């Protein structure tokens, strides 16, 4: 009798991938709930447009580009491991993704430092509460994803657990997707 | 086989390039032209491409589509369920005390804002004015 977790799958989808797709709806509700709540408050408070002018659009745009590029890198890692069987290249692409994640955290830290020094703290008003809450939760997800990819990379380098690149990739693309919505809502449409 | 592998790799770069172009378009169009509605439409398009080609949702089984749809339906439920509470300042038997701020105090005083009447018109008895005439714990937003 084969174990379910690693071999059998009633749905026809490998259990790891199905589990990852089951995780994402929870994340959708978390971020979607936060962003839709922000949207409702934003309609009610048009003066928040003035507050969002204090956000660094260049930093936000750079972060969007970093995350998009990191999504490409994890896809290249998956391609290298699964199609080309080049595990060293996959290892390098995975670490390029991790470095992009750390760059994102660095840019975000710079933004936070600058904004807090200007006096725009989490208690300044409701706009800034939403901003810090949403971006900090997102940054924590980026950090967790980068850590997971870093841990998986060592097994991939030995040619083991190759399927986990795709699993980590799905999570990483979702994190990128969240910023695709967060960035225009806070920085542009604000 | 080798040709298929390179084609697959090339398509990844094409989708990435498209997403970068859409990102730049989003920033330029929204900030320069002030088309903020477009600032939300373009991300939906970007998300569609990322879901389909990066997360391979276009070749995924229907059960995954069902799970994601269920999440979106739940989200819509939360959005519309709480929307009336956030958007309205008063109802048949209630007034939202926490919505008071400077602009609402002016409204309450009988002044109109943008041609609209005070949302608290007719609800003064519910406001629980204290001896000084102050309303229930005004909150600053």
DSSP letter for each residue of A121-152: -TTS-HHHHHHHHHHHHHHHHHHHHHHHHHHH
Low-confidence ranges of chain A (pLDDT < 70): 1-8, 190
Closest partner residue to B20 (CB to CB) among A36, A43, A65 is A65
**pLDDT, mean of residues B54-82:** 87
Q: What residues form DSSP beta bridges with B95?
A: B90
What ipTM was predicted for this assembly? 0.87
Tell me what pLDDT residue A180 has: 93
Tell me what pLDDT residue B82 has: 77
Tell me what pLDDT residue B100 has: 46
pLDDT in tens, B3-60: 777 888 888 999 999 999 999 998 888 777 766 777 788 899 999 999 988 888 888 8
Decide if pLDDT at B103 tops 50.
no
- A170 lies within 8 A of chain B by CB: yes
Q: How far apart, in whole angstroms, are the C-alpha atoms of residue A107 and residue A110?
A: 5
In Å, how far are A6, A9, A11, A15, B1 from A2, measured between CA atoms? 8, 10, 16, 13, 33
Tell me what pLDDT residue A2 has: 56
Residues in B touching A84 (Cβ below 8 Å): 5
Tell me what pLDDT residue A126 has: 87
Gap from A110 CA to chain B (nearest CA, Å): 21
Cβ pairs bridging A and B (under 8 Å): 124
Residues in B touching A75 (Cβ below 8 Å): 12, 54
Question: Are A141 and A32 a contacting pair, CB within 8 Å?
Answer: no
Q: How far apart, in whole angstroms, are the C-alpha atoms of residue B82 and residue B75?
A: 11
Tell me what pLDDT residue B125 has: 52
- B104 lies within 8 A of chain A by CB: no
pLDDT in tens, A1-42: 555 566 667 777 888 888 999 999 999 999 998 988 888 888
Cβ within 8 Å, pair A45-B51: no
Q: What is the mean pLDDT of chain B?
A: 72
Tell me what pLDDT residue B14 has: 93
Residues in A touching B87 (Cβ below 8 Å): 40, 43-44
Please, what's the b/e burial string for A130-147 (b: 16 or more CB within 10 A of its CB; e: otherwise)?
A: bbbebbeebbebbeebbe
In Å, how far are A3, A5, A18, A51 from A10, measured between CA atoms? 12, 11, 11, 51
Tell me what pLDDT residue A64 has: 95
Tell me what pLDDT residue A96 has: 97
**Total Cβ atoms within 10 A of residue A82:** 14
User: Which spans in B34-87 are helix H?
Assistant: 38-49, 62-87
């Amino acid at each position: 009798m084969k174990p379910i977790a690693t071999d059998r799958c009633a749905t026809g989808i490998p259990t790891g991938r199905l589990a990852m797709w089951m995780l994402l709806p929870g994340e959708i509700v978390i971020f979607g709930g936060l962003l839709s709540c922000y949207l409702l408050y934003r309609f009610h408070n048009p003066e928040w447009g003035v507050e969002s002018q204090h956000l660094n659009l260049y930093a936000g745009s750079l972060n969007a580009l970093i995350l998009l590029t990191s999504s490409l890198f994890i896809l290249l890692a998956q391609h290298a491991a699964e199609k080309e069987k080049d595990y060293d290249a996959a290892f390098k692409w995975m670490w390029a993704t991790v470095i992009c994640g750390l760059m994102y955290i660095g840019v975000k830290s710079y933004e936070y430092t600058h904004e807090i020094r200007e006096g725009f703290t989490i208690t300044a008003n409701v706009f800034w509460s939403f901003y810090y809450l949403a971006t900090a939760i997102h940054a924590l997800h980026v950090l967790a994803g980068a850590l997971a990819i870093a841990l998986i990379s060592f097994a991939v380098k030995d040619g083991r657990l190759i399927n986990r690149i795709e699993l980590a990739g799905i999570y990483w693309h979702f994190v990128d997707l969240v910023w695709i919505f967060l960035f225009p809502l806070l920085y542009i449409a604000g | 086989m080798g040709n298929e592998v390179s084609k697959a790799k090339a398509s990844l770069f094409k989708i990435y390039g498209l997403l970068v172009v859409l990102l730049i378009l989003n920033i330029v169009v929204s900030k320069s032209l002030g088309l903020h509605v477009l600032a939300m439409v373009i991300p939906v398009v970007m998300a569609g491409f990322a879901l389909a080609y990066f997360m391979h949702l276009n070749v995924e089984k229907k059960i995954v589509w069902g799970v994601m749809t269920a999440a979106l339906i739940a989200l819509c439920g939360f959005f519309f369920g709480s929307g009336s509470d956030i958007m309205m300042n008063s109802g048949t038997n209630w007034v939202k005390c926490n919505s008071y701020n400077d602009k609402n105090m002016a409204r309450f005083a009988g002044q109109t804002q943008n041609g609209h009447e005070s949302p608290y018109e007719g609800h003064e008895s519910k406001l629980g004015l204290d001896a000084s005439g102050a309303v229930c714990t005004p909150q600053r937003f």
